[in-house]
Structure 1
């Protein structure tokens, strides 16, 4: 029996198929994220021009970087997380997650210097949970990031967080395990340190396309707490939010928990609250005023009677020049480390899936730069976005000061922030002092973007972690 050779045309087709598929298979294989990945082993070290101290050392474990262990707490909170159906006043019920049967969870209030103790219990959240204290510069072990500072808290388990509320301001807390789903579906709450008698909290959150304020839909009303209200705005969503006041001028008195120096009166302008960000406004309330929250039916009216209804102003407060300068307390010109955080996008595979994926300095997660610092370093970072979309960038454990935007120097009050809105084709220069040892996430707070790989870490020399992404607890921080 004589075997017949395949026709020449068929051979060419087979070879062409191999030539095309072999590289695709190679890149597909390379894109797979290991199921048990140590933050110490991922990516590559970027020393920012400083000493090249290895970051895979044996040093202080993050579990040692705790809040006070033995002191009696001043504020004690127990939170039980559940997956269940709950009510959105003004809209109806929805399926999601709750803390103590509510979403948002209980408001936590502390005085400056209080030791806060929060016990988190997981009743039935199958994927596990954590709590991250967004904007609070806690010790690393209290940061609540699954796979980096702790394991996810599984059903029937609990975890205790302890930290000192050392900075007065407006903050919030949320899950950092499968966060792109759990936060959207309700695992979040408000934290206020050093409240004032004139406080009005406005936490904006969208449940399945239903925008709410403090968990309620539509026009919501609160009594005027006095002739002037401090309105604490919190954006818990994935995109930026324009906020304005109808019926009175206002002042921007704090950004991300830090007071603005020399705030001036604003009329006919909105202020942008980026995803994860907080802005405090000072608003006169002799007459009823309306807080516009990005447009749509959900607004917050302060006071009795009719309040004006307006549309989003065309002009916006520019925090780069708002307020009056004052000393920073350090000299960014004397930086000992300088990093670039370049956000891009490219076609390819991510964890085996084809598409357009985010890059950091040209690399895809987990092969991204790990920014290595030493305690006491003065750090400068350039954040450049050429990805085609806006990104709210959030560095854990630190506040940074904005030095410039697109080469224009900051001239107003020092703009201290932990959640920075970086538009497409924008470049920011920021600086900070490395004064909080640990391994800290530095990621986009559009949480689906983070789940797609727009995340890296700020790593201190001499600090290590034994926690892993994935693994038996299935740690999935984003």
Structure 2
């Protein structure tokens, strides 16, 4: 062998091996990138994997992973989401038209943001016609906290197609449960809700509201400026000694701490459900999760002074006209613990006799979603779209353990159902039944909740810090025998 040839051969071998290794890395990276890509359109029934929570695994969902992006085939006797509607056979008690428009960087409903306050009576058949005048991405209306039939839930690509500009869609549902709720778009929701496409729905009890002032205060941040009902503050004219019910709605993505100076308050309701025997509270804040609602009750002082309710950079002041505003008060150190607040009352079902038990473990890690690298939220160790499909049957008692080991708090919102909080970090609830549809799960916290699966359909179970949902923190609760004809993509982008 000529001098130096052995050295050149070794060098060439190293170059070949290096080139082959680089090709292998590129091929592997390409396969990972390709496998993360989402199809242009897909059924949510084809996403992820089915979990049965110890209940029976039906053949349709048992083969879930093999159905591809179209989801499982329909079986004889199955129902489409579009069949699960509100009443169609009688006139509406309340009929409203809401016209959605885009006005520069904001969205409006009937020319305003927030949209009109809808106030109806318990038991009313409500009919809302949504008209899209000029929202280019399309629009829907989701009735947040109202346990409507599935077809009326307003989730683009799951329960309906988004309403394109120039189109309309009619929602019909019975307002069965009195309470404070809100409505908002569930099409490109992280942008449209932030931009102002929302409003408040109040369902008044059949017996009417108590004497005194009954006031809505919807908190929303526009371009970094906090507002209440779209203004920089709210003044409630109330006579000395007059009772006030203040319905607080958090339409932002962040949790709020709410506190009151000038009078003790009672937490009358949470997420539209009355608190049993609420106690007066002084020197303690109330937590208002993103998407959540809290009704506070207080009486204005008989001496003619005012009550100030701090809402995080904006306030509600209640008192006689002309009375001076009290100064901004410092936040109290204590927070009302709804796990212990109020007195126990019957639930109407036995969580210990659960038919299904699920885990919803929230984490975060680096990965690729639809070919885009980034830090994404995980559910039970998996990233979107490999998220759980929690399968239940009509009538099941369901328990769910929500564990947050992520880097942020998560206001978890289950559509179509209310759940009772059983425990936090292993400590059992001992107060009034704490019934929620929007539960703020803090960092390193674990909650156990329970509910009855009594509203068939396909329901989102997602974080209502809406950018978190965009980054993959969304799962679904699906009833056996229910399918959706709608598809995400092709104009439907729910988050």
Give TM class, smaller chain.
over 0.9
For 2:120, the equivalent position in structure 1 comes to 110
For 1:300, the equivalent position in structure 2 comes to 316
For 2:16, the equivalent position in structure 1 comes to 11
What is the TM-score when the length of structure 2 is the normalising length?
Answer: 0.91
Provide the rounded CA distance (Å) in 2 between the counterparts of 1:363 and 1:317.
35
Matched, 1:172 2:182: yes
Provide the rounded CA distance (Å) in 1 between the counterparts of 2:260 and 2:21.
63
Deviation at 1:7, TM superposition (A): 4.0
> Greater Rg, structure 1 or structure 2?
2
Correspondence for 2:296 among 250, 259, 281:
281
For 1:445, the equivalent position in structure 2 comes to 464
Q: Is the 8 A contact 1:247 1:308 kept in 2?
A: no
For 2:383, the equivalent position in structure 1 comes to 364
Structure 2 gaps of 5+ residues are 1-7, 62-71
Provide the rounded CA distance (Å) in 2 between the counterparts of 1:390 and 1:411.
24
Provide the rounded CA distance (Å) in 1 between the counterparts of 2:154 and 2:371.
28
Q: Is the 8 A contact 1:246 1:308 kept in 2?
A: no
For 2:237, the equivalent position in structure 1 comes to 223
Provide the rounded CA distance (Å) in 2 between the counterparts of 1:311 and 1:176.
36
Correspondence for 1:467 among 478, 482, 486:
486
Provide the rounded CA distance (Å) in 2 between the counterparts of 1:79 and 1:451.
26
For 1:382, the equivalent position in structure 2 comes to 401
Matched, 1:123 2:133: yes
Matched, 1:35 2:40: yes
Question: For 1:126, what is the secondary structure of its paired residue?
Answer: coil
Per-residue CA distance 1:212-239 (angstroms, 9 max, x = gap): 100112x431212771100100000111
Per-residue CA distance 1:1-48 (angstroms, 9 max, x = gap): xxx999445434423423433332222222212221112211111111
Question: For 2:246, what is the secondary structure of its paired residue?
Answer: strand
Matched, 1:259 2:274: yes
For 1:352, the equivalent position in structure 2 comes to 371
For 1:210, the equivalent position in structure 2 comes to 225
Aligned-residue Cα RMSD (Å) equals 1.5
Q: Is the 8 A contact 1:289 1:308 kept in 2?
A: no
Provide the rounded CA distance (Å) in 1 between the counterparts of 2:443 and 2:21.
39
Structure 1 gaps of 5+ residues are 86-94
Correspondence for 2:335 among 316, 332, 344:
316
Provide the rounded CA distance (Å) in 2 between the counterparts of 1:193 and 1:50.
36
Provide the rounded CA distance (Å) in 2 between the counterparts of 1:458 and 1:11.
52
Q: Is the 8 A contact 1:121 1:156 kept in 2?
A: yes
Provide the rounded CA distance (Å) in 2 between the counterparts of 1:423 and 1:374.
30
Query: Aligned runs of 1:125-274 on 2, under 5 Å?
Result: 125-194=135-204, 196=209, 197-217=212-232, 219-224=233-238, 227-274=242-289
Provide the rounded CA distance (Å) in 1 between the counterparts of 2:249 and 2:256.
10
Matched, 1:476 2:493: yes
